[in-house]
Structure 1
Amino acid sequence: MLFSTSTIAAVALAFASTVSAHATMFGVSVNGQDQGDGRDKYIRTPASNDPVRDLKSPNLVCNTNGGKPAPSFVKAPAGASLTSRWFHFNPNDPNDIIDPSHKGPIITYIAPFTEGNGAGPMWSKIDEQGFENGEWAIIKMRNNGGKVNFKLPSTLAPGQYLIRQELLALHMADFRGDQVEGRGAESYPSCFQVEVTGNGEAIPDQDFDFNRGYTYDNPGLFFNIHIPFDKYTPPGPPVWKSRRMRKMKRPKRPHFINTVVPEARI
């Protein structure tokens, strides 16, 4: 495979910037109401802001502390507009988000609440933002002060859930991660806990398994952003629609976990 000088230069620049480029989730807003710093409160905050490249690792799902339940939940009605907020080192600096070389999609999934790490067939995709109008979703997020807007399904059944949002950086994805050490797509997953209210009856049932569904040859993960392209499709299933519903036992509600109620905007 041959690459142009400009492509090689772009890859080299991307590699050089990776040391200071990473990101993690800071907090969530519900219908415009800031829920405050969610780290280790309702977010299962990872030990670092480093990416996950190993597609067989359980850390691919909810990162390094994915199996450590947070002590509280964000409360949100079905159909609510949610905004997640990401940062690199300084959450008070709107410019300290992620390096601009880290281009790629932002994908959001939901699953019934679990105290485990989320591994296995339990996830459904509720939002994806990829490459639109010549701009990557991560760059849009960066230009928006680290904020990502999405909605809960309006027919979502009440109960406790785990939401996984992922920044998928493709600056090194021109080589497969299982074939070239240090290369491949970089996943930045963060999971937070939400208690959904309302009268909905739909429970997402795609049963997606990240360790099986994300493969090194998946065109959404093995993709060269440094050469011209016409279209990009994010990995994973299509965005879930609530036309299909099934009855299932709702997740347990641990008695030791409190609910975060909306606070005034910070």
Structure 2
Amino acid sequence: MKSVSLALGLAALASQASAHYIFEQFNHGGTLYPVYQYIRQNTNNNSPVTDLKSTDLRCNVGGLTGNATQTLTVAAGDSFTFKSDIAVYHDGPLSMYMAQVPSGTTAAEFDGSGQVWFKILDLGPTFDASGTATWPLAQTYTSTIPASLPAGSYLLRIQQLGIHNPYPAGTPQFYISCAQLTVTGGGSGTPGPLVSIPGFITGTEPGYTVNIYTNFHNYTVPGPAVWSGASGGSAGGSAGTSAAAPNPPASSAAPTTPTVATTTHVAVSSPTSVTAVQKYGQCGGANWKGATTTGGIGK
């Protein structure tokens, strides 16, 4: 009986782990690179981070440094894409941040400490004439390395904030990954405002505490304002071609203009498809693999 109970317990844990998502692949220049080649691998599977005071908010659990991760060379102005293992299905905004690596430190060594992070993208909900919200839920998210970004090494951080369980009974969930980049051909821009992680969200922001099922007609993504030098981004679209070689050369691809631009706190991007999830969202459970139909949100 003990062995049966243990097996059932392990199966339950496995089903819970598979019920979330993780950004595990990076696409640049039309090449979809292998899992975790340029993205720091975390140690909590695809589970979220919920502690606002934890350094795990930077690059996920186990991702404080990335010595096992390669660093990709990209040009300022290049587009890029993050891809998750399954499509994002928890309602909430998506943001991207960058942090320049200090002189004398490699991207793999940098732990993201200090007031060094700046935001380059916010994707929030859109509201139709009736006030119904549509969230940017997708498996791929594309943005652009700001053209005026100074050359150097950077951490590039993607964050999806699941606010599908009303606060305070439900704690918002951060799904996070960091890529390691060396940016060439940059400009003389001054990124900002700069924030520290943790500390960039206190837990009192309306975008963090909002109940998205009651009188929900507007939304502001929590965190700092998007840097004015950023170029926006979009959700959805093709993930590109998988890479065959583990050590690709640096790309010289020409800059690509994103299909939808958003540089304000309330994003105007619309995903190419929208997933339908039951009210409050399913979070865990055997065989849950994300929403499988299209339609309105929160119905």
Select which of 222, 231, 236 maps to 2:218: 231
Distance 2:33 2:200 in 1: 33
Aligned residue for 1:84? 82
Aligned residue for 1:91? none
Displacement after TM superposition at 1:206 (Å): 2.2
Aligned residue for 2:65? 68
Displacement after TM superposition at 1:18 (Å): 6.5
> Does the residue aligned with 1:52 lie in a helix, a strand or coil?
coil
Aligned residue for 2:126? 132
Aligned residue for 2:51? 54
Counterparts of residues 1-266 of structure 1 (less than 5 Å): 20-31=18-29, 33-39=30-36, 41-47=37-43, 48-69=45-66, 70-87=68-85, 96-98=86-88, 100=89, 102-113=90-101, 114=107, 115-133=109-127, 134-137=133-136, 139=137, 141=138, 146-172=139-165, 174-176=166-168, 180=169, 183-242=170-229, 261-262=250-251
Q: Is the 8 A contact 1:105 1:131 kept in 2?
A: yes
Q: TM-score, normalising length from structure 1? A: 0.72
Displacement after TM superposition at 1:56 (Å): 0.5
Distance 2:194 2:186 in 1: 23
Structure 2 counterpart of 1:28, one-letter code: F
Specify which structure has the higher proportion of strand: 1
Query: Residue by residue, what CA displacement relative to the aligned partner does 1:11-55 show, whole Å, maximum 9, x if unpaired?
Result: xxxxxx966431111212224x2141141x211111111101110
Structure 2 counterpart of 1:261, one-letter code: A
Gaps of 5+ in 1: 1-16, 88-95, 244-257
Structure 2 counterpart of 1:111, one-letter code: A
Q: Is the 8 A contact 1:155 1:200 kept in 2?
A: yes
> Cα RMSD over matched residues?
2.5
> Does the residue aligned with 2:207 lie in a helix, a strand or coil?
coil
Shift in CA distance, 236/18, structure 1 to aligned 2, threshold 3 Å? farther
Distance 2:110 2:251 in 1: 26
Deviates more, 1:158-167 or 1:211-220: 211-220
What is the aligned length?
210
Distance 1:196 1:259 in 2: 16
Runs of 4+ in 1 over 6 A off after TM superposition: none
Gaps of 5+ in 2: 1-14, 102-106, 128-132, 231-246, 253-299
Distance 2:192 2:92 in 1: 26
Q: Is the 8 A contact 1:73 1:259 kept in 2?
A: no
Query: Residue by residue, what CA displacement relative to the aligned partner does 1:207-242 show, whole Å, maximum 9, x if unpaired?
Result: 211322211221111111122311111111111023
Q: TM-score, normalising length from structure 2? A: 0.64
